């Protein structure tokens, strides 16, 4: 039946040897439309209802833009219940479901309704805010219809696609369009960072987490974001590629508690026309390395500052999000081939994907009540901490991971690197605890914040 649909649409996509390019030959072919495709794929798309219970405070200063920050956390405690509605896609017969992180984030209760009106309790087994993806497991599910993941690297601009989801909570809805762009990395509203498939198939609130499928019924992406000034679809939607979804499913089934990304240990910038000329390149393409951590797998593979990376496994990369995406879908423990250009000469070099090393030991501590800043959390800087807190590759010493209630009021922020306390140099987390246990009548903290020196002084 799918073959008939391909013939009717005159397409040759994933299986050019099997598809015949011609116009519809009969009224039955014309009237067929997408009905067989929807009938096969729609049962694998579900509605997700998430309940979120938050703790708030009734404060007389809640509406005051000045005093509300000073009196945050004060007032009468009150629980608030928020409900979230979205879509999801079943990927296995035993109830593995993928959706967006922002659909189920911090949910205390999740119910999933299938196309045939059955309902299941669900729990989140793996979620990642940056990728805006979450993997759910349906409780007691078996023999469920599910979709097959397609290799999203083979998706081409111009392919016909269908978006299936539950926009505005009106019930399952299907919209059609084409793939209108690839390697989109910005300009959209909503959650998630990185690399997207762009489509003009209408996507609206509630479609989040739904399926973007091709004319074979295979999943090529998870609908995630829209570009909109009004909050509704303006014909530009973004889907997370299926290859990244596959990596999430793999890690979830392996029992990972948080999503693990390979570590590059490098900084770089896209090559523009001026930079291409200075580097002796014929075209402005790739990423030029501007900084390398000594423990970076690229440094160990022979890369150096000034090298240009143009491809990963034969696929072009022209921005940092593209390269991060390519490394992520390769997976930790695997090897990818990077095309390096040095002195105008390209060379393919294999680099093994590794997690950010947690060496030297981070030595994380949280200060107790006997210090002047209880609740302050700090860690010794290493590659894992640099990645988690988003610090420069050259950062050293001790960083604030959580300023705590009192530290935040004092002006401390996550990511501040502590240089000294009362003019005593800080190199280990124990130095912070010692300096803040009995600092005297005055407290002076010298910090590095976004590369700028900051000095804070308090009277105790």
Instruction: Verify whether residue 102 is a known catalytic residue.
Output: yes
Instruction: Verify whether residue 313 is a known catalytic residue.
Output: no
Instruction: Verify whether residue 146 is a known catalytic residue.
Output: no
Q: Rounded to an integer, what distance in angstroms lies between the CA atom of residue 331 and that of residue 60? A: 51
Q: Rounded to an integer, what distance in angstroms lies between the CA atom of residue 368 and that of residue 76? A: 26
Q: Rounded to an integer, what distance in angstroms lies between the CA atom of residue 323 and that of residue 310? A: 9
Both tokens of 285, joined, read 């393409």
Of 87, 99, 102, 228, the active-site residue reads 102
207 CB-contact burial (10 Å; exposed 0-12 / middle 13-18 / buried 19+): buried
Q: Rounded to an integer, what distance in angstroms lies between the CA atom of residue 224 and that of residue 59? A: 35
Q: Rounded to an integer, what distance in angstroms lies between the CA atom of residue 458 and that of residue 436? A: 12
Of 132, 214, 307, 431, the active-site residue reads 132
Q: Which of 298, 271, 265 is nearest to 283 (CA)?
A: 271
> Which H or E element spans position 80?
strand 76-90
Q: Which of 323, 243, 336 is nearest to 285 (CA)?
A: 323
CB-CB contact of 208 with 179 (8 Å): no
Q: Rounded to an integer, what distance in angstroms lies between the CA atom of residue 190 and that of residue 450? A: 26
Using DSSP's 3-state secondary structure scheme, residue 189 falls into strand
**DSSP-assigned letter for residue 168:** G
Q: Rounded to an integer, what distance in angstroms lies between the CA atom of residue 198 and that of residue 238? A: 5
CB-CB contact of 139 with 120 (8 Å): yes
- Say how many CA atoms lie within 13 Å of 106 toward its Cβ: 8
Of 152, 208, 228, 377, the active-site residue reads 208
Which residues are designated catalytic? 102, 132, 208
């Amino acid at each position: 039946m799918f073959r008939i649909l391909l013939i009717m649409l005159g397409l040759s996509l994933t299986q050019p040897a099997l598809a015949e390019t011609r116009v519809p030959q009969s009224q039955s072919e014309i009237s067929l439309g997408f009905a067989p495709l929807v009938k096969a794929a729609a049962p694998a798309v579900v509605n997700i209802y998430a309940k979120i219970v938050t703790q708030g405070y009734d404060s007389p200063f809640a509406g005051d833009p000045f005093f509300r920050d000073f009196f945050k956390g004060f007032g009468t405690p009150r629980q608030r219940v928020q409900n979230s509605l979205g879509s999801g896609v079943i990927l296995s017969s035993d109830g593995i479901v993928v959706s967006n992180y922002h659909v189920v984030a911090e949910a205390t209760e999740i119910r999933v309704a299938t196309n045939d009106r059955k309902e299941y309790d669900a729990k989140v087994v793996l979620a990642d805010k940056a990728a805006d993806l979450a993997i759910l497991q349906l409780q007691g599910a078996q023999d469920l219809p599910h979709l097959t993941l397609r290799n999203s690297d083979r998706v081409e601009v111009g392919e016909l696609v269908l978006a299936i989801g539950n926009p505005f909570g009106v019930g399952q809805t299907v919209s059609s369009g084409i793939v209108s762009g690839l390697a989109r990395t910005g300009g959209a509203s909503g959650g998630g960072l990185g690399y997207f498939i762009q489509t003009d198939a209408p996507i609206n609130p509630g479609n989040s987490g739904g399926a973007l499928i091709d004319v074979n019924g295979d999943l090529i992406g998870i609908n995630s974001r829209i570009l909109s000034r009004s909050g509704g679809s303006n014909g530009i939607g973004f889907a997370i590629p299926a290859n990244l979804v596959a990596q999430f499913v793999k890690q979830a089934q392996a029992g990972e508690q948080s999503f693990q990304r390979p570590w590059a240990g490098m900084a770089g910038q896209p090559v523009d026309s001026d930079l291409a000329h200075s580097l002796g390149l014929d075209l402005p393409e790739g990423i030029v390395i501007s900084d390398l951590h000594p423990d970076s797998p690229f440094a160990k593979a022979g890369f150096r500052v000034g090298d240009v990376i143009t491809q990963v496994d034969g696929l072009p990369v022209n921005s940092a999000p593209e390269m991060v995406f390519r490394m992520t879908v390769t997976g930790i423990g695997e090897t990818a081939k990077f095309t390096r250009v040095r002195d105008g000469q390209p060379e393919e070099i294999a680099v093994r994907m590794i997690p950010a090393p947690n060496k030297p030991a981070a030595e994380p501590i949280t200060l107790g009540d006997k210090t002047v800043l209880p609740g302050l959390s700090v860690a010794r800087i290493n590659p894992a901490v640099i990645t988690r807190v988003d610090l420069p590759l050259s950062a050293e010493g001790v960083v604030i991971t959580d300023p705590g209630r009192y530290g935040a009021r004092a002006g401390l922020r996550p990511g501040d690197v502590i240089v000294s306390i009362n003019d005593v140099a800080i190199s280990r987390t124990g130095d912070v605890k010692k300096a803040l246990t009995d600092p005297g009548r005055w407290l002076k903290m010298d910090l590095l914040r976004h590369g700028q020196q900051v000095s804070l002084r308090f009277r105790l």
